Structure 1
């Protein structure tokens, strides 16, 4: 009943907002394309550029009779040019302040014989918008890497312990074409490392997402993919081989097509990996303030995986005012095998070996994750008013079976006992959502936007653990358990963006009502929760002249517990470590403020403040009585961070551009110790450095290089102190056979310096974790392009839902 009442109230607000009249001034520019002999040119490319900075603004294709039109063009001065098969018309400057027919654009009809095609590689460029940083990678050395490598080279993005952060801030959400990727964090790496970046135009780092986006999470990283802008077809096939300790392989293909009404892009890749990772856990168990014994566990993990990634985007123009779109994103993992072998040595307080145990953990993982989107968009008029409706469904199945065999040995390494058991874990989740958005201009330089959304999540998790034999107090393996979890979210928002004189504004308010219900087979008590929260956003920018820019951003957001973290089932990873869910997890709320100043677009300073209440962290605690390491997700009382960022980006020469980031901030977290219940405060000043150089060589600019360096000084996360790390990487790309072939080569972690060391030392806790991945990877790739090589690309953005909390 509360949900129905809230839906009624929000729906009423939405329809009141949607009735605001459209008062905008956007215009239509039309014309037709002819050859100099008067013949009409069908399917010619027509491109529109802004006069102010000659940046590309919009593109279209002429119809069978040579006619073309651009809709929703705001008042400004533009350059327009038509081209067809290597011939083009002169640039024509037009000033748009009403509907405009520019008449014919004439293309020279003289045939051309192309003996050689020269490709000009573009260097990565950065564009600072009012609410996001756009990193363009197309036609660079990075474009033939995988998405994981591209993200590690993206300005402001750092990867720590296989977790994506933005300037040290965790909880980053990944989107593809504005659609959130619905994968657990541990699977994000597998998806991105198995997907080629060739089909990517740019990476958007949205540090303070506007009200249109879900309030879930904080920073968004939006991977914008290609689709054709003009009529025709092209495609490519590629192969990328990588070598660390073991080899890795990625094969794939991309296809793009655009007709008069239909646009289609299809992408597929297959990856086969074998990866080595090493861990060391050192636990000093304590009694009455003294170390009684030290357990040192050296773990070697070998992963073998096969994965299929595919995506498809289809647009169909029903007529000038109605458009239908279908999108699908799918990841199939038919085989993911891991073999973990650990040797745990136990020493007494004097450092003498007393005993230990060997553990072999063979695990098999299978999953399917498929998301489908259906979009309909209707334009009410040529001024820009439109209504969009989106339907979404995600199906996610996860199955993991593991067999653990433990052999105990004495001080002479003679086997004295064993403990073998099996674990079967299955999770099935369905996500549904429906969303509607309405956009209308307000005058000549403002827009109003509002929308409503309902999402439903249905999740079921089942586990069976057989054969476990351990009698210590506090060890309660779940032998057989079922956990059901349902969540419903109703949201609405309204926002306004405007430009006047030298100011830009984007402001909005989002309301979200949430109901959750959990049912665990081992308890009769139901888990229920419901809450209504409001999330304001504000983006303000002032440009007094071309050299100076001032900005202010404010955002409030929420992070809800993921379906797996709230699961109370206790799963053993070895005989001495256990991962536990937490049904008492609460949603966390974050407020962030950023003041910025840019000089000459090359120098940017940002003062930021972030306060995150009840932030969720995966905490590691040692149980000194049961001699056990417990990995538990819990609400940390608060995270506090404030500091200064400095960003420098410059085209030093025609062949060299550089980017430098320095972020110096104080980060502190307060958490409750699981045993003593004491409040623990930990804080530290941290320095993040990121340095990237992009170089172009040869007269035809067909050879490009990207060199990256990153450094992170000690940082506090949860109840851990993470020591410093740094990493170098280099990528080369050479165009061959004109535009038809590219060869890439790269090395990550050139000097083998990447290693993460985490220490937890307070009260009766003293343990260390060391993560040593196989980070130095050599890669060699080749791509062959075919089809209409004159096709230009555009990119598609759509609304998303919260597919990231499985």
Structure 2
């Protein structure tokens, strides 16, 4: 540990602060009679292509300030009540006060500047890929559907992956969503994507972010660019095998000092999922009997999702922010019905059993964030503080009934038992960040964070009366788990000539402790780890760009997976927790080359020690199919990505990703302890098209295709699958409303087939979700929708930015 601390201190001392400086543009807006204008809109565009950069609003005496502007040439314009100033060209190389900006109604005649408001659908930045969805049909879906259509993001069995890499963390406005995987799906499924400005796929997160996970997806929500209020109501109906319905509203307000947004939705869902498990139980290497289980799952749920974001500008240099994200499920009812057919190898007859599994649960997950930011000087130095609290409460009751039948389908036995499971988790964190420029080309960032997680889980099972080896349902059990994390980081960034460099180091000391009521052994460990990040970029000419980045990260076990409880799906199918799970550590490196901004080749290497994966394991002696989360010995992947993004014509831009890689997952067989290597070469393909139709560009469409060849998943091999999706959006009533239509999995091809065949394991599983769906949506916008009235263009209709 001393060596780690010394290494970290040494790095802090040697770190050179590096990054290009940003500046401030200020001034005062007045009428032609020299009276000041309060709440005038300030709009800043690049002079090169007149694309929108940033907006602001004047205070009560007409003063405005636009901060954090990189050095470049810009066009600035002020507008108020339909009246405008002339465009003012400014060359920003230092802080600039442009003095008085006069707004005159005559200025509306200005038409020699054509302003382009449409954001690029896809932007490649230093450490992230930015997918702007505001001007696509995807904005009328929910966030989960938009995420599935995001370049480089793949959804596999409801788990988010980036180019096949697991352990992805989800953030909203740079704030981590502390939800279990299932609840993240529910939150994003119930939240309209219309409030989303962009989805950022952060492949090389800076040291400022937690080391957890590696790749991150940041969902950046909209903010008002002009003063005033606007809002919307929306209604979305989805039809698969069963109907689903979502009703919601969004609201935005921006005043002199206060800016806020509020989003709410209520959803009712009924979903069908089918599973088939075929297990070949073995003895001495020979198959003795085959158990085939067909499971039909019907879930009904009601959910409320809400979020609020509030910024209050105390003065020019101080801002206080509050935000909250909540998902509340007052009612979730599940009905699982399965039949398991048992055939012995040398017997033509079959026996089996029917299982009915009724479950009910409710949950609430709410997070609160409080932020304070203080700009220390005009050069860009600032200090920020953040406090966070998340409360998660989960209650589930399960009633499981089984009827056993003989060769004549006569019921010969039955059993039933009930399970009650409760979990409560509290998360607290505080963080401080400091950044300061040193000279004109460098910036230094550093900070500290403390996080505490406290979780309590209780289980009670009653009525189980069948004596079967391997089944050990505890009557009552309690598991307490605490985790403390102390973190510190420093990062540096610079640009010189054709080079860009960013580097950081994060240290995290973790202390965990578990207390299981039925086991007196000590559970937990303490460890200190360092997580470096390095990024280089070299641009010798306008058409050529080279990049290199490296990052080390950690993935800690989920709180639910370490609970040492058995939860039965049927009499021979059980999901088990694992208190012995260890954290995993991932090292990732990417070398990239981009030609003419549209063609990119990436060579990548990934080594993941103790990777955490869900194992499906057959217990041949007890005739049990067990689902256990465990550590792999290691996960190794390397390969080549080709990325093509191009505006083929004005009305059509396309994105193509092909990733061909070798993946090897090594683990120990649970019976023999022999080392097993599960490896394959895999091809991932994404082809996404954004299209615009009609003269007024009011009709947009997205056509997306996904293909995944056979791939390794833990101790499984998964067959290939593909998926087509189309989405349409039509603006109506002068863009005050729109209707949308989405058809997912058009050809009903999304089915997952997994096989585990090694040693004494030979089982197959099929996963068939209700993925072919038809969705119809309607949205109506109201309030201050005059954004387009605040500036004019020449010969074109302005496009929506938000």
- Shared topology, TM-score over 0.5? yes
Shift of 1:591: 0.2
1:308 to 304, 310, 321: 304
For residues 443-592 of structure 1, what are the structure 2 equivalents within 5 Å?
Answer: 443-592=439-588
Partner of 2:74: 78
For residues 751-762 of structure 1, what are the structure 2 equivalents within 5 Å?
Answer: 751-762=747-758
**1:324 and 2:310 are equivalent in the alignment:** no
CA distance in 2, matches of 1:472, 1:24: 68
1:788 to 772, 784, 789: 784
CA distance in 1, matches of 2:461, 2:259: 50
2:359 to 356, 363, 370: 363
Shift of 1:528: 2.6
Partner of 1:659: 655
Preserved contact between residue 28 and residue 71 of structure 1 (Cα < 8 Å): yes
CA distance in 1, matches of 2:102, 2:346: 90
Partner of 1:617: 613
Partner of 1:437: 433
- Secondary structure of the residue aligned to 1:191 is helix
Shift of 1:47: 1.4
Shift of 1:350: 4.5
Question: Per-residue displacement from partner, 1:92-121 (whole Å, max 9, x unpaired)?
Answer: 2111233322233333325999xxxxx999
1:694–1:637 CA distance, 2 compared to 1 (3 A): same
For residues 697-712 of structure 1, what are the structure 2 equivalents within 5 Å?
Answer: 697-712=693-708
Shift of 1:231: 1.5
CA distance in 1, matches of 2:21, 2:128: 26
Preserved contact between residue 234 and residue 791 of structure 1 (Cα < 8 Å): no
1:163–1:19 CA distance, 2 compared to 1 (3 A): closer
CA distance in 2, matches of 1:120, 1:547: 23
CA distance in 1, matches of 2:710, 2:455: 38
Partner of 1:734: 730
1:439–1:111 CA distance, 2 compared to 1 (3 A): closer
Q: Gaps spanning 5+ residues in structure 2: where?
A: 110-114, 789-802
Preserved contact between residue 326 and residue 373 of structure 1 (Cα < 8 Å): yes
- Secondary structure of the residue aligned to 1:488 is strand
CA distance in 2, matches of 1:698, 1:26: 40
CA distance in 2, matches of 1:542, 1:616: 36
Preserved contact between residue 420 and residue 467 of structure 1 (Cα < 8 Å): yes
Partner of 2:395: 399
Preserved contact between residue 71 and residue 382 of structure 1 (Cα < 8 Å): no
- Secondary structure of the residue aligned to 1:198 is helix
- Secondary structure of the residue aligned to 1:524 is strand
Shift of 1:445: 2.4
Partner of 1:682: 678
* Cα root mean square deviation, aligned: 2.4
Question: Per-residue displacement from partner, 1:585-607 (whole Å, max 9, x unpaired)?
Answer: 11100000000011111101000
Question: Per-residue displacement from partner, 1:446-484 (whole Å, max 9, x unpaired)?
Answer: 211000000011100000111112323222112210000
Preserved contact between residue 281 and residue 298 of structure 1 (Cα < 8 Å): yes
CA distance in 1, matches of 2:400, 2:391: 30
Shift of 1:791: 4.4
TM-score by length of structure 2 reads: 0.94
Shift of 1:70: 2.2
CA distance in 1, matches of 2:778, 2:3: 55
1:270 to 266, 269, 274: 266
Preserved contact between residue 18 and residue 493 of structure 2 (Cα < 8 Å): no
Partner of 2:288: 292
2:228 to 219, 222, 232: 232
Partner of 1:798: none
Shift of 1:199: 0.3
Question: Per-residue displacement from partner, 1:1-45 (whole Å, max 9, x unpaired)?
Answer: x9xx999x89x9699989999998654322222345655433221
- Secondary structure of the residue aligned to 2:549 is strand
Q: Gaps spanning 5+ residues in structure 1: where?
A: 114-118, 793-806
TM-score by length of structure 1 reads: 0.94
1:297–1:123 CA distance, 2 compared to 1 (3 A): farther
Preserved contact between residue 123 and residue 694 of structure 1 (Cα < 8 Å): no
Preserved contact between residue 307 and residue 324 of structure 2 (Cα < 8 Å): yes
CA distance in 1, matches of 2:391, 2:78: 45
Partner of 2:793: none
